[in-house]
């Protein structure tokens, strides 16, 4: 199967939407020979910080000499980002060949009277096939949503369950209370296998602790309050944590230190299990970790930053970084949100800080909140808001509203940040004129 045909197949099955449960993915993987059973996993669940933690872990482990697969979603710049081995995306040829196998397995299931697997189930099965084919020694696996009923949770060869910061998100599927959501996330904990989590709200930690005890799984709570001598900046951050001194990361945002501490505690747990991970590999891995769309500096003069803050907890962390880095700076926001996110809460935590706000409709997304509706919600907090007709127009307007001393922060749905980043990377932005070809 050619790559374009594989993408077309994926597009065709997107209409099935989200169907929580493990029966379908189990049947699909059984058709494919259960490739997941040949792999060893670091399984990550949580609301915010999953991607950054995954990036730190997979980069460190690759630097330690292991063949490391990583599976994450959503993609920012390129669909194939979801499937990587040692930082390299799956090739179009491999993707097409593997999709042909998965598609055939799906057709066999339908012929047997079973349901067509969802797009996420298909992607997850393909990831397992790919990592098995590449003989990955470790796989860093991110849940899509929740944990208990997430397609990734059929795995039985977990080395460590990792739980990042938990907050309110996906309430339509995971529950209306933080305890219900935490219970879903804690569903990835496996009997007798260690769990490492970050600092959580007390009611969340109580749920995780109870789940770990019921599975006789040892629990480690990463304590980022033990971070010392932190020096934070937009180009690099340095800090001490436990036995590690003067560590350096290039991801910006004050919240990254918490994600980094969690990743370090996971690495220490892996060391206990006999994995050889030198301090040199840890230092190199942290320094070389990249993760686009998380308080990422795209350009300077004016400073343009992209961040995927789309729920209340992420908005709080974004505001913390804005207040830390940009005291007394004039700020222009570009915002695009999805309908099913906590738009009012994101607005409440961020929008009083901006001098001007430009809204847009995330393109090619059925769940996109129209720009004018988002602008209407923002007006209750900040009247200086304008709706743009496209990502390109929003960027042009932001550039026209700023001087080289000001800051532009684009945040909300990751689904539009990819396009924004491509515009900037393609060099279609001039400092004062906006994207080329625009007037």
For 373-383, write each residue's pLDDT tens digit. Answer: 999 999 999 99
Judged against a pLDDT cut of 50, whether residue 333 lies above it is answered with yes
| Rounded Cα gap, residues 79 and 196, in angstroms | 29
- Domain ranges across the chain: 3-288, 296-435
Judged against a pLDDT cut of 50, whether residue 71 lies above it is answered with yes
Strand partners, 195: 161, 219
pLDDT score of 432:
46
Tokens of 422: 């491509």
pLDDT score of 69:
98
CATH class of the domain comprising 3-288 = alpha beta
pLDDT score of 130:
98
CB 331 within 8 A of CB 322: yes
Judged against a pLDDT cut of 60, whether residue 84 lies above it is answered with yes
* 152 burial type by CB count under 10 A (0-12 exposed, 13-18 middle, 19+ buried): buried
pLDDT score of 175:
64
pLDDT tens by residue, 98-119 = 999 999 999 999 999 999 999 9
Question: Which fold would CATH assign to domain 296-435?
Answer: 3.90.190
Whose CA is closest to 2, among 89, 94, 77?
A: 94
Judged against a pLDDT cut of 80, whether residue 17 lies above it is answered with no
pLDDT band with cut points at 50, 70 and 90 for residue 75: confident
pLDDT band with cut points at 50, 70 and 90 for residue 172: low
Judged against a pLDDT cut of 50, whether residue 431 lies above it is answered with no
Helix extents (H) in 273-390: 279-288, 312-325, 343-350, 371-379
Q: What is the mean pLDDT of the chain?
A: 92
Beta strands in 337-438 (DSSP E): 356-359, 385-387, 407-412, 429-430, 434-435
pLDDT score of 48:
87
Strand partners, 45: 163
Main-chain phi, psi angles of 296, to 5 degrees: -90, 130
pLDDT tens by residue, 248-296 = 999 988 889 999 999 999 999 999 999 999 999 999 999 999 988 888 9
pLDDT score of 234:
87
- Measured at the CA of 8, the angle between CA 31 and CA 21, to 5 degrees, comes to 45
Reported pTM: 0.89
Please give the share of the chain, as a percent, with pLDDT higher than 90: 78
Q: Edge-to-edge, what's the strand order for the sheet holding 407-412?
A: 296-299, 303-307, 407-412, 331-336, 356-359, 385-387
pLDDT tens by residue, 351-388 = 999 999 999 999 988 889 999 999 999 999 999 999 99
Tokens of 142: 């991110």
CB 398 within 8 A of CB 388: no
pLDDT score of 170:
56
Whose CA is closest to 227, among 197, 259, 252?
A: 259
């Amino acid at each position: 199967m050619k790559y374009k045909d594989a993408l077309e197949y994926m597009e065709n099955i997107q209409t099935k939407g989200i169907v929580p449960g493990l029966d379908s993915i189990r049947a699909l993987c059984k058709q494919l020979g259960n490739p997941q059973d040949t792999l060893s996993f670091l399984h990550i669940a949580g609301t915010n910080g999953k991607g950054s933690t995954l990036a730190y872990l997979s980069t460190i482990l690759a630097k330690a000499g292991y063949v490391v697969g990583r599976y994450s979603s959503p993609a920012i710049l390129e669909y194939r980002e979801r499937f990587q081995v040692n930082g390299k995306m799956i090739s179009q040829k491999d993707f097409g060949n593997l999709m042909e196998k998965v598609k055939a397995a799906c057709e066999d299931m339908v012929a047997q009277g079973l349901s067509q697997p969802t797009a996420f189930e298909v992607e997850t099965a393909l990831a397992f096939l790919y990592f098995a084919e590449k003989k990955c020694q470790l796989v860093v696996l991110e849940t899509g949503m929740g944990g208990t009923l997430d397609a990734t949770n059929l795995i039985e060869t977990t080395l460590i369950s990792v739980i990042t910061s938990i907050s309110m998100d996906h309430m339509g599927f995971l529950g209306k209370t933080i305890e219900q959501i935490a219970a879903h996330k804690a569903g990835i904990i496996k009997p007798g296998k260690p769990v490492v989590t970050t600092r959580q709200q007390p009611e969340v930690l109580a749920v995780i602790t109870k789940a770990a005890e019921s599975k006789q799984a040892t629990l480690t709570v990463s304590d980022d309050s033990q971070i010392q001598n932190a020096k934070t900046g937009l180009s690099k951050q340095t800090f001490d944590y436990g036995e590690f001194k003067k560590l350096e990361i290039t991801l910006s945002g004050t919240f990254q230190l918490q994600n980094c501490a969690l990743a370090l505690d996971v690495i220490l747990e892996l060391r206990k299990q006999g994995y050889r991970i030198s301090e040199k590999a840890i230092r190199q891995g942290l320094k070389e970790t990249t993760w686009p769309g998380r308080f990422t500096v795209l350009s300077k003069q004016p400073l343009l930053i992209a961040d995927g803050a789309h729920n209340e907890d992420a908005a709080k962390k974004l505001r913390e970084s804005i207040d830390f880095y940009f005291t007394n700076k004039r700020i222009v926001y570009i915002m695009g949100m999805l309908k099913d996110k906590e738009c009012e809460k994101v607005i409440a935590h961020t929008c009083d800080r901006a001098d001007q706000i430009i809204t847009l409709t995330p393109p090619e997304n059925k769940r996109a909140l129209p720009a004018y509706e988002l602008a209407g919600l923002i007006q209750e907090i900040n009247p200086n808001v304008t709706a743009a007709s496209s990502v390109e127009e929003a960027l042009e307007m932001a550039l026209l509203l700023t001087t080289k001393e000001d800051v532009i922060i684009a945040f909300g749905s990751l689904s539009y940040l990819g396009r924004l980043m491509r515009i900037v990377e393609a060099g279609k932005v001039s400092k004062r004129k906006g994207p080329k070809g625009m007037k």
